[in-house]
Amino acid sequence: MTLAAALSGLEITWVNGVAGQDVPDKVLPGDPESRQGGLTVGSKGCWRAHMDVLQRIVRENITSALILEDDADWDVRLKAQMQVFAQAARAFTQPLQGQPLSEQYRQGPQPELPFAKLPHRNLRPSLSAYGDDWDLLWLGHCGTDFPAAQAPSKPPPLRVTIENDMTVPSHQHLKPHPFALRDDLAEKYPPHTRVVHASSGTTCTQAYAVSRKGARKLLWQFGVETMTAGWDLMLRDWCDRLYEHPAGSNPNPAEATSRRRAPVCVTVQPPLFTHHYGKGAASDITAAGGGFVNRDKEMTPYVRLSVRLNMGRLVNGEPPVDQWEDG
Ligand SMILES: *[C@@H]1O[C@H](CO)[C@@H](O)[C@H](O)[C@H]1NC(C)=O
């Protein structure tokens, strides 16, 4: 990680992982009855480590932070990709004059908005290049869905399409793993298209950014209130607005009847960060497709000029090699 970061011009700060054995059940927040099927030892350690990161962001009052798991990989062109993503993300996070952000986020001016036609933002962001009003940017995942319309009569939620992005592999390389059934992105868009949209059904937490307010909300929800499942599954549900309604046990009737503002979570397909599969090494992912061992080929799904696969070349001043050449 240190070398990969140095070779791509990133400065990273480490936060220690936590072994699940060191997390006694009595410190977990929420009702033990709510933990269907119990929790694995690994998911307790993972939860605590992510809470430690969020706690530090809140304590140090950091404006925004990108949280990376230590098996993440990315393209050597990450900074240029992030500049494009930032402009696309603002369609979801930066209010247009005279229009409430929630409307824009849920419906958009039109469902498909090509990058070249992004409306001129009336209000420039002041806090972050990614816009001022967001909670979470889910940049590294192992799958996400295009969000569905809220009702059949409503237009589908906004998608910003980045066309001819040559950092996106061609269609035949978009399957995340050999057991994956289909890939919506490959079926619905021309090759080399990246799509930015609201998070829906997103899983795995290789990389996500939180804003100050996002970190505070998450630390409250999952450090104080609830702990029911693996961290990425809780985060998925949080972004999918399943925590939007205050709990029925809330004693304050005024608060109980008001709808809490939905979190603003923006994601991207294909993701900008993914798991790196080392030679012969099994993934730690416990979900379907996880644990698959590729003994023949080190690889990182979706990432063409992978930093991890090119470290040997980069330290020697050689140009990086494309692992997903167009066929
Ligand atoms: C956190 O930072 C914000 C923005 O700079 C500031 O307004 C706020 O007072 C800070 N909070 C604390 C607790 O330092």
pTM of the entire predicted model: 0.90
Contact 140, 197 (CB under 8 A): no
In the reported structure, the alpha carbon of residue 47 is separated from the centroid of ligand 1 by a whole-number distance in angstroms of: 26
| Structural domains counted in the chain | 1
| Domain range enclosing 199 | 2-244+255-315
**H or E element that contains 239:** helix 231-239
- The tokens for 79 are 């900074």
For residue 307, the model assigns a pLDDT of: 98
Query: Is 183 a domain residue?
Result: yes
Contact 143, 204 (CB under 8 A): yes
In the reported structure, the alpha carbon of residue 207 is separated from the centroid of ligand 1 by a whole-number distance in angstroms of: 25
In the reported structure, the alpha carbon of residue 216 is separated from the centroid of ligand 1 by a whole-number distance in angstroms of: 12
Contact 96, 119 (CB under 8 A): yes
Query: Is 144 a domain residue?
Result: yes
Q: What is the largest CA-CA distance in the chain?
A: 65
Q: What is the DSSP letter of 249?
A: T
In the reported structure, the alpha carbon of residue 52 is separated from the centroid of ligand 1 by a whole-number distance in angstroms of: 20
Q: Are strands 136-140 and 265-269 parallel, antiparallel or unpaired?
A: parallel
Query: Is 292 a domain residue?
Result: yes
Three-class DSSP labels, 67-128: EECCCEEEECCHHHHHHHHHHHHHHHHCCCCCCCHHHHHHCCCCCEEEHHHCCCCCCCCCCC
Contact 200, 170 (CB under 8 A): no
Distances (CA, A) of 318 to 4, 80, 326: 15, 20, 22
Local confidence pLDDT in tens for the 327 residues of the chain: 999 999 999 999 999 999 999 999 999 998 888 886 778 999 999 999 999 999 999 999 999 999 999 999 999 999 999 999 999 999 889 877 766 665 555 555 567 889 998 877 667 888 899 999 999 999 999 899 999 887 888 778 889 999 999 999 999 898 766 666 668 899 899 999 999 999 999 999 999 999 999 999 999 999 999 999 999 999 999 999 998 765 544 544 444 444 567 899 999 999 999 999 887 655 555 544 455 555 567 899 999 999 999 999 999 999 999 999 997
Tell me phi and psi for residue 136, to 5 degrees.
-150, 135
N-terminal to C-terminal alpha carbon distance within the chain? 30
Query: Is 325 a domain residue?
Result: no
Query: Is 103 a domain residue?
Result: yes
In the reported structure, the alpha carbon of residue 11 is separated from the centroid of ligand 1 by a whole-number distance in angstroms of: 23
- The tokens for 301 are 């799904």
- The tokens for 102 are 């929630």
Query: Is 323 a domain residue?
Result: no
Please tell me the distance from the alpha carbon of residue 72 to that of residue 50, in angstroms, as a whole number: 15
Query: Is 284 a domain residue?
Result: yes
In the reported structure, the alpha carbon of residue 212 is separated from the centroid of ligand 1 by a whole-number distance in angstroms of: 9
Query: Is 53 a domain residue?
Result: yes
In the reported structure, the alpha carbon of residue 88 is separated from the centroid of ligand 1 by a whole-number distance in angstroms of: 27
* Amino acid at position 198, single letter: A
